[in-house]
Amino acid sequence: MATMSLRTAPMRVAQIPKPGADFQMIDRALPHPGRGEVRIKVQACGVCHSDVLTKEGQWPGIQYPRVPGHEIAGIIDEVGEGVSEWKNGQRAGVGWHGGQDNTCPSCRRGDFRNCRHLKIPGISYDGGYAQYMVAPVEALAPIPETLSDVEAAPLLCAGITTYNALRHSGACRAT
Ligand SMILES: [Zn+2]
Ligand SMILES: [Zn+2]
């Protein structure tokens, strides 16, 4: 009779062990999503200049080791308790906005981007330089069929920074 292995399959991550240190490629156990979270099988992750904040320890309160990466495109492969709007197999992206507390004055005005306790993937929790990562549902953006993972990932931070500036400048407005 075959015995089932209960050992959790590992995943590969690129982590920063401490501020200023080099990247380390290591195996870790697969993370599981908690309430209101999903696990994403990472298909692509952009490299943003802000990743240096994690690499060099230039953001207050980072706990190490930490896996950087906040331009994540992937596929949901496990949903946590209480998650109703997202399903396994669905494509999802996570950018700089990695979650909010929903209770601070900014959140109560609907200004989640300026949440007093804003979470950032790769800074507040482990990000996309990994085969899998876990994110809260309020951080998720659906990825349309027309965009590949490689095209979608950098749009989630660096891309939106430039696109939003162009959009508000009127440079890409149809006339
Ligand atoms: Zn808030
Ligand atoms: Zn960025």
Mean pLDDT of the chain: 93
Q: pLDDT over 70 for what percent of the chain?
A: 93
Residue 174 pLDDT greater than 90, yes or no: no
For residue 47, what pLDDT is reported?
96
Residue 107 phi/psi, 5° resolution?
A: -60, -40
Ligand nearest to the CA of 48: 2
Distance CA 119, CA 157 (A): 14
The predicted model gives 118-140 an average pLDDT of 98
Closest C-alpha to 98, from 140, 35, 152: 140
Model's pTM, two decimal places?
0.89
Ligand nearest to the CA of 112: 1
For residue 6, what pLDDT is reported?
56
Q: Which residues make Cβ contacts (< 8 Å) with residue 58, sequence separation at least 6?
A: 52
**How far, rounded to the nearest angstrom, does the alpha carbon of residue 62 sit from its chain's CA centroid?**
15
Ligand nearest to the CA of 45: 2
Residue 4 pLDDT greater than 70, yes or no: no
**How far, rounded to the nearest angstrom, does the alpha carbon of residue 60 sit from its chain's CA centroid?**
19
Environment of ion ligand 2 (residues, CB < 5 A):
48, 50, 157
Tens digit of pLDDT for each residue in 28-83?
999 999 999 999 999 999 999 999 999 999 999 999 999 999 999 999 999 999 99
Distance CA 110, CA 146 (A): 29
Confidence of residue 170 (pLDDT cuts 50, 70, 90): confident
The predicted model gives 124-134 an average pLDDT of 98
Token digits for 111?
């200004």
B/e letters for 58-80, b = 16+ CB within 10 Å, e = fewer, are ebeebeeebbbbbbbbbbbebbb
Compute the distance from residue 4 Cα to the ligand 2 centre, in Å. 42
